[in-house]
Structure 1
Amino acid sequence: MGAVAFLATARPGAAQADGLPSWNDGPAKRSILDFIARTTTPGGPDWVPVAERIACFDNDGTLWTEQPVYFQVAFAVDRIKALAVQHPEWRTQEPFRSVLADDRAALATLGLKAIVEVIEATHAGMTTEDFAATVVDWLATARHPRFDRPYTDLVYQPMIELLALLRAHQFKTFIVSGGGIEFMRPWTERIYGIPPEQVVGTSSVTKFELRPDGMPVLMKEPKVEFIDDGPGKPVGINRFIGRRPVLAFGNSDGDQQMLEWTAAGSGARFMGLVHHTDAVREYAYDRPSPVGQLDKAWDEALRRGWTIVDMKKDWKVIYPFELR
């Protein structure tokens, strides 16, 4: 995992011409470089003051792989299996029965409500510190079912380069994701160079408690407080960042409102979508996919001239381990 973090901040050889060596030359790359140049040239008509250089990125499917299931769901499934001995009722109770039986077809029909129920059951009843430690331990041992690599190996090298290039031009980079905020915060700084205070995500209720020994803790409760997806993303940006982004990147319909909110601001704006088109090196999916569906947002991007990154055409490499 440390090697990935190095790639996020190093590669000053990323002064290789333009800082995006893993991108093929084409309209997508040129539109990114043009936007950065226009908005950071003092005295230019599109110059953006440093304080307003806010760039927001979705996580699942935009910064790392999200197939065959969202990685936080994989984490929750493993937690269900680990905790099952304490909950014999789960053997017959959905959605836990399907999880324990590895019945993915049944799980797929249960929908978002079931996913939330699984996450609530496995993420609650712990202190925030204990939960963070559990996430870090899982990431150190769990392997992706197709690539047989740690999940944090499956970040996108071209997007790592883009994050670093933006920061080199004094942009502040944020994650704005439907994923759980406390699932992401333990590792995003090491992997993406994005510190925990710049992560916006779905959050559960936490409660302050004073233990008998006088130690104060925050306890996670089995209740979702805020869903940072779809129309929740602009709300989350306003609530936790307080500035409208000038650049936003997503990959699915869950990012549409974030891109619309970004586009509605004055001055220069950049709206981007990652289109998963490479079934050989990663995955190919869009409109009919139950994970990361890209349908209405794709149509709007085409209509409004937003930048669509074709993974197969635009990226020379996808993962950092391809460079080793």
Structure 2
Amino acid sequence: MNFTRRFTLAGLLAVLLPVSATVAQVDSLPSWNSGSARQAIVDFVGRVTREGNPDFVPVPERIAVFDNDGTLWCEQPEYFQAAFALDSVKAMAPKHPEWKQQEPFKSFLAGDRTALAEQGEQALLTLVTAAHSGKPTDEFSKSVADWFSTARHPRFNRPYNELVYQPMVELLAYLRVSGFKTFIVSGGGVEFMRVWAEKAYGIPPEQVVGSSGVTQYQLDAAGKPSLLKTAKVQFIDDGPGKPSGINMMIGRRPILAFGNSDGDHQMLQWTMAGSGARFAGLVHHTDEVREYAYDRQSKVGKLDEAWDEARAKGWTIVDMKQDWKTIFREKP
């Protein structure tokens, strides 16, 4: 092969390889419609992973964090962990006859939603605490797994853990192939999420950051050790707690963060405050037919101040109705 021919082939490869890489990137997101949101993601990943590019980021620093409720799976009409807790209280009730006379258990078990609502958020917190404490961690994990095997979403009549967003599952996989380490950073309970997160998203338990309660080491009569979940709160991983949780559990500032509500606002701000290339994304729920449509006025997943800042600063807003070809994974 002469020099001219070699030079020509080299030139063709130099032109074709970037195109092929771009095609591969786009094909990694088959559930995303072509548009500014998907292009922003592909462009960002291309910039930070291309050696020699001014925005190149070494692999150890490619940290991506994702909220869970409303970002990776559905969160309506109530947070799924709340549904688990309420079902657990009902199942536990026969062993607690005193609850028939104690609020908020009395109103909840009687189905008196008006009386329960009048007791405010503290009533719900009491119910959730009852469902999440007083059990060894292994027993609690089993109760979560058992609930997912039988509980069904009231609208979609599918197991709750099937209501994950297929486009976001593809995005997580695409980032990992591109050298990113992906984390969940959620206000949900860390021990609740760790039961199913790896199967649902490919995110292992050690990469799940969430709210947590205090556990107590104990030995049973046979000398077998366990960790007992207590009613004491250790850490709330929501709002301004998310940057603190990231700093404590991950130890690196992310270069990419995705959320969907004001509870993620500080995590997005903190991510974007770092040096170098940065990406902040918001999932905007706009599809009342395939999922739900809500933002500023919603009691669950309220998106107000974060939405304003995202639009003012040019963060990427994913319009669920326009940007996603499909919402949920197909039924198995």
Band the TM-score falls in, shorter-chain normalisation:
over 0.9
Local SS of the residue matching 2:317: strand
**1:23 counterpart (11, 32, 53):** 32
Indicate conservation of the 8 Å contact 2:79/2:300, yes or no.
Answer: yes
Matched, 1:75 2:75: no
Count of residues in correspondence between the two structures: 310
1:102 aligns with 2:100: no
Deviations along 1:230-262, one digit per CA (max 9) or x if unpaired, are 000000000000000000000000000000010
Alpha-carbon distance in structure 2 between the residues aligned to 1:23 and 1:104: 40
Residues 257, 281 of structure 2: 8 Å contact kept: yes
Deviation at residue 120 of structure 1 after TM alignment: 1.1
Distance 2:180 2:115 in 1: 44
Which amino acid letter does the alignment assign opposite residue 131 of structure 2? T
| TM-score normalised per structure 2 | 0.90
Alignment root-mean-square deviation, CA: 1.6
Distance across 2 between alignment mates of 1:178 and 1:126: 21
Which has the greater radius of gyration? Answer: 2
The answer for the alignment partner of 1:216 in structure 2 is 225
User: Who is 1:255 aligned against?
Assistant: 264
> In 2, distance between residues paired with 1:140 and 1:306?
38
Partner residue, 2:204: 195
**Aligned residues of 1:120 and 1:224 also touching (Cα < 8 A):** no
Q: Measure how far apart 1:212 and its partner are.
A: 1.8
1:104-134 per-residue CA deviation (whole Å, 9 max, x = no partner) reads 4555554443332222111111111110011
1:17 and 1:55 map into 2 onto residues whose CA distance is 19
Q: Distance in 2 between matches of 1:282 and 1:154?
A: 10
In the alignment, which residue of structure 1 is the partner of 2:169?
160
Residue 242 (structure 2) aligned to one of 233, 238, 244: 233
Which residue number corresponds to residue 95 of structure 2? Answer: 86
Q: Would the aligned equivalents of 1:125 and 1:219 in 2 still touch at CA under 8 Å? A: yes
1:244 equivalent in structure 2:
253
d(CA) in 2 for partners of 1:219, 1:177: 22
Question: 1-side partners of 2:101 and 2:201: how far apart?
Answer: 40
Q: Distance in 2 between matches of 1:309 and 1:109?
A: 36
Task: Call closer, same or farther: CA 1:289–1:246 in 2, change over 3 Å.
Answer: same
**Contact map agreement 1:263 1:271 (CA 8 A) in 2:** yes
5+ residue gaps, structure 1, are 1-13
Q: Deviations over 1:17-39 (max 9, x none)?
A: 43101001111110001011001
Equivalent in the alignment of 1:319: 328
Correspondence for 1:44 among 53, 71, 75: 53
CA distance in 2, matches of 1:109, 1:19: 48
- CA 1:226–1:89: 2 relative to 1, 3 Å: same
Corresponding residue SS for 1:121: helix
Structure 1 residues 286 and 111: alpha-carbon distance in aligned structure 2, compared to 1, 3 A threshold: farther
2-side partners of 1:103 and 1:149: how far apart? Answer: 26
Task: Answer yes or no: is 1:299 the counterpart of 2:276.
Answer: no
Over residues 88-107 of structure 1, what are the superposed CA-to-partner deviations in whole Å (9 max), with x where a residue is unaligned? 33234333234323344555
CA–CA distance in 2 between the matches of 1:102 and 1:224? 28
Q: Are 2:25 and 2:42, in contact at CA under 8 Å, matched by a contact in 1?
A: no
Say which SS state the counterpart of residue 320 (structure 1) adopts.
Answer: coil
> Would the aligned equivalents of 1:58 and 1:251 in 2 still touch at CA under 8 Å?
yes
Residues 133-172 of structure 1: per-residue CA shift (max 9 Å, x gap) = 1100100110000001000110000000000000000100
Normalising by the residue count of structure 1, what TM-score does the alignment of the two structures yield? Answer: 0.92
**Percent identical residues:** 66
Q: Distance in 2 between matches of 1:297 and 1:106?
A: 33
Spell out, residue by residue over 1:197-248, the C-alpha distance to the aligned partner (whole angstroms, 9 max, x if none): 0000000110111222111100000111100000000000000000000000
Which residue of the partner structure matches residue 124 of structure 2? 115
Unmatched tracts of structure 2, length 5 or more? 1-22
- State the match for 1:8 in structure 2: none
Task: Find the counterpart in structure 2 of residue 284 from structure 1.
Answer: 293
